[in-house]
Amino acid sequence: MSNATTNLEQLLQGHDWFYEYSDDNGVWRRGNERHNQILREMRTIGEPAATELWNRYAPDRMKRQVLNG
């Protein structure tokens, strides 16, 4: 497993998937920063591996369709 993949997996495991619903600006800000960090790591890894990792940790309603490249 590559360093980027390991990093993405750790980010996904600790992600607050429902940060957008928070009334606390600090919670929202940290969640948004983490989400952007996840997206950057996903671009580094590429498809379909990044989406497969995302879907391993995302709640059902937040799963993504796996793209082929």
6-34 pLDDT, tens digit each: 999 999 999 999 999 999 999 999 999 99
- Tens of pLDDT, residues 48-63: 999 999 999 999 999 9
Q: What is the pLDDT of residue 27?
A: 97
Residue 68: phi, psi to the nearest 5?
Answer: -100, 75
Nearest-CA neighbor of 51 among 37, 35, 68, 31? Answer: 68
* pTM score of the predicted model: 0.88
Q: What is the pLDDT of residue 28?
A: 98
CA–CA separation, 69 and 58 (whole Å): 21
Is the Cβ–Cβ distance between 42 and 7 less than 8 Å? no
